[in-house]
Structure 1
């Protein structure tokens, strides 16, 4: 108590000494002068005025970019000879190249970084990422230009929300500029696009799904790049895209981040999901090597517009992203029409839903297209697969690839049961916006070698698990 009295007395003396003083108010002033910094220009871009499916002449070039193919697939090998060499015992095992600096690491020897591609893998991966940035740039602008302020207000999105979408479009200008500068003069350019949406809520759903496979497609190749310096720059842009995906989930009234880990996927999965929404590209556009897998339709894709999102049948606007459709949702089933906690889905920082969009044990009905269909820019790419008849659904989410057998496989259709699987205890693995892939085998892969699945993949889709 004595200590408290002394502190109170000191505080009283300080107050008395300062009570008659004039408060200090700082005004912003400029006290230092320097020449204006040179600001690099952004990549040339415009607001695309033409949208819709491609209706031009047949393409003169078809199929993915290709050269000599050495083998039908990359063989599975054991770990490298030094995989278990480092003792990982918390001690130092090499001389320090500088104070407070451990031995090892890549790109840490003092060499100046050069932000350019070092391999075909680098170029084709970054070119794919640039295609993604351009469609996002257009998509964000397109939605603001297409739907009225009242349309957005009816979906619960205010002027401030619309400005956030505008700002995200501006972010894409920077991303496209960065990747173009690193790729060089033959970098892909802006194209024209078509979007499977008719209203704001479908638009927001498509945006959150597009940013999902854009983000995951980069995570899948980022640590495989030969050019580590290029990877650093891409990491700093894709981190922004991760925030965009979360914002669009919040705009939908979905829980913003219902997973412990974000999934990484192969480039061909991202290109499969992206290409159908590109209508046409400029003449002599840089082509890509990546595969276009056949389309997969999730017939009872969960619909986040519904109070009970799992109670849905044929409520998508088509395959690939399987974007939600609002067409058959009555007012009494519409989660935007209720303020009931656990049922409403008004845009918010976070929402919990009483009825899960999906759950372990749910029967999921699927159908798929045959390969050989023209897709992508100018209908110049062709869907293809080296897999046999689909036998499994691979649930690709977080750190997991979990297979469930397909049942009643007949006439390009089947059903399966959502498995009960966790990443770690307390973390249901199947959640969020994730990937559902049809395969002919249930091969074992982990996040760093997930592209080994590709020879066994028949088709790719997005599943709205939560």
Structure 2
């Protein structure tokens, strides 16, 4: 019989985490549909009055932002000839590395930063567990068939839901008794096609949100186990892109996002949580809507109207509408380059977007009640927006913003390359409105947060 990897460590720390609950939050037990899939009986907006508002805060905040500094003075190692420079602590063991000195691993968070980051990850695992089950329970075999997905695809998605149960257990164990519980959610889709599209967007910020913080965790042990789950998340995102008729691999480098970006996108779909659920410290940014976000269901995505009418709702990662005229739809189109029926790979004759495309924008003012129990409030410390930041691959690329009215404007998709012919902008990606074009890199992207006016998601490819 296999021994749980964390059992002895948790007992030694005086903590034994609960297993994945067999039912939803108190008062909302899971139901089982005719196919045996579990889902919550309610998926809708919160209708009560929040008893607390705002992100959780520490007793003291030291500064309004973290000032940029020069490189760490200890970052001096350089090897020009490829020969080890320092004595080896053991045979075939080069000097250096973290967590390599023989100490027993402790698979528990080691700082407030660790706790808040892993708690965010657990919120993500819980919504994925519910979301995958909900679509399987909500839609019939015939509806799945119409979307180009058969029983084997349904079985694969059910397996992915089971993966989320394992991921939730892992993260719960690493957090201990204060780990967040599963909540009740409010989803935007009305067809299988829209559900799958929503899945590929949600797994994008689930994956990118972890890539953004995993290398900053104080606990190397926690980061190690988290990497084993997020690599699975990456496969899920790829599979949902295939089920959406999109190319599965669209970039050379996956982009990492700060925790507040992921929490802003995720929190909009949480209706309410059980009393006492652990709250998060991350910021909720105002919503940025891309009014002509390319509709993935169109043969010609550039024909997506500029008024936002082909997005299912007005939240950041809401999917494209699927009920467009048959002659304009790429679903079940047998012509090569125009077919977006689920497949291992698809190439479009007309891309979803392209350099120079005019992108129309609309954004909310801060102060909106969002998230579980409407108890979080959107905020920004930025001034008047001047730029659009495109976060993709290894780059944060800016384009000028032209303001056309109150909280409306446009920009043009920038062009350029990472290496060779690898375009800097592609895939399911984050976009931000900023008040300056601050230079940031993948490792310090959070430096941009104080300058973000609003946050959105763009379907670049």
- TM-score normalised according to structure 2 size: 0.91
Partner SS, residue 49 of structure 1: coil
Aligned residues of 1:385 and 1:455 also touching (Cα < 8 A)? yes
Aligned to 1:78: 70
Residue 339 of structure 1: which of 334, 337, 348 is its match? 334
Aligned residues of 2:186 and 2:270 also touching (Cα < 8 A)? yes
Quote the Cα distance in structure 2 between the aligned partners of 1:435 and 1:249.
16
Partner SS, residue 301 of structure 2: coil
Partner SS, residue 303 of structure 2: coil
Gaps of 5+ in 1: 1-35
Residue 407 of structure 1: which of 398, 402, 411 is its match? 402
Aligned to 2:217: 225
Quote the Cα distance in structure 1 between the aligned partners of 2:221 and 2:231.
16
Quote the Cα distance in structure 1 between the aligned partners of 2:429 and 2:344.
21
In the alignment, structure 1 residue 325 sits paired with structure 2 residue 321? yes
1:42 Cα deviation from its structure 2 partner: 4.0
Quote the Cα distance in structure 2 between the aligned partners of 1:355 and 1:272.
31
Aligned to 1:386: 381
In the alignment, structure 1 residue 360 sits paired with structure 2 residue 352? no
Aligned residues of 1:155 and 1:200 also touching (Cα < 8 A)? yes
1:457 Cα deviation from its structure 2 partner: 0.6
Partner SS, residue 335 of structure 1: coil
Kindly provide the CA deviation profile for residues 426-454 of structure 1, in whole angstroms up to 9, marking residues without a partner as x: 10111110111111110000000000000
Aligned residues of 1:266 and 1:450 also touching (Cα < 8 A)? yes
Aligned to 2:10: none
Quote the Cα distance in structure 1 between the aligned partners of 2:3 and 2:82.
46
Residue 104 of structure 2: which of 104, 112, 115 is its match? 112
Gaps of 5+ in 2: 8-17, 24-38
Aligned residues of 2:122 and 2:172 also touching (Cα < 8 A)? yes
Kindly provide the CA deviation profile for residues 294-347 of structure 1, in whole angstroms up to 9, marking residues without a partner as x: 0111100001100111220221122311421123x2100100131100100111
Aligned residues of 1:297 and 1:322 also touching (Cα < 8 A)? no
Larger Rg: 1
Quote the Cα distance in structure 2 between the aligned partners of 1:45 and 1:256.
33
In the alignment, structure 1 residue 349 sits paired with structure 2 residue 344? yes
Aligned residues of 2:268 and 2:315 also touching (Cα < 8 A)? no
Aligned residues of 1:45 and 1:190 also touching (Cα < 8 A)? no
Kindly provide the CA deviation profile for residues 392-416 of structure 1, in whole angstroms up to 9, marking residues without a partner as x: 1101001000000111342000000
Quote the Cα distance in structure 2 between the aligned partners of 1:445 and 1:38.
44
Quote the Cα distance in structure 2 between the aligned partners of 1:82 and 1:38.
41
Quote the Cα distance in structure 2 between the aligned partners of 1:443 and 1:208.
29
Quote the Cα distance in structure 2 between the aligned partners of 1:91 and 1:59.
61
Aligned residues of 1:253 and 1:346 also touching (Cα < 8 A)? yes
Quote the Cα distance in structure 2 between the aligned partners of 1:227 and 1:423.
32
1:100 Cα deviation from its structure 2 partner: 1.0
Q: How does 1:183-198 map to 2 (within 5 A)?
A: 183-198=175-190
Kindly provide the CA deviation profile for residues 193-228 of structure 1, in whole angstroms up to 9, marking residues without a partner as x: 011111111100100000000000000000000000
Partner SS, residue 398 of structure 2: strand
Quote the Cα distance in structure 2 between the aligned partners of 1:120 and 1:319.
29
Q: How does 1:427-446 map to 2 (within 5 A)?
A: 427-446=422-441
In the alignment, structure 1 residue 64 sits paired with structure 2 residue 59? no
User: Alpha carbon RMSD of aligned pairs, Å?
Assistant: 1.2
Aligned to 1:43: 20
Quote the Cα distance in structure 1 between the aligned partners of 2:354 and 2:234.
25
Aligned to 1:31: none
Aligned to 2:31: none
Quote the Cα distance in structure 2 between the aligned partners of 1:278 and 1:334.
31
1:464 Cα deviation from its structure 2 partner: 0.3
Deviates more, 1:262-271 or 1:402-411: 402-411
In the alignment, structure 1 residue 89 sits paired with structure 2 residue 84? no
Quote the Cα distance in structure 1 between the aligned partners of 2:40 and 2:164.
14
Aligned to 2:366: 371
Partner SS, residue 444 of structure 2: helix
Quote the Cα distance in structure 2 between the aligned partners of 1:271 and 1:349.
31
Q: How does 1:279-318 map to 2 (within 5 A)?
A: 279-313=271-305, 314=308, 315-317=310-312, 318=314
Aligned to 1:212: 204
Aligned residues of 2:390 and 2:397 also touching (Cα < 8 A)? yes
Residue 148 of structure 2: which of 130, 151, 156 is its match? 156
- The number of equivalent residue pairs is 429
Quote the Cα distance in structure 1 between the aligned partners of 2:76 and 2:385.
37
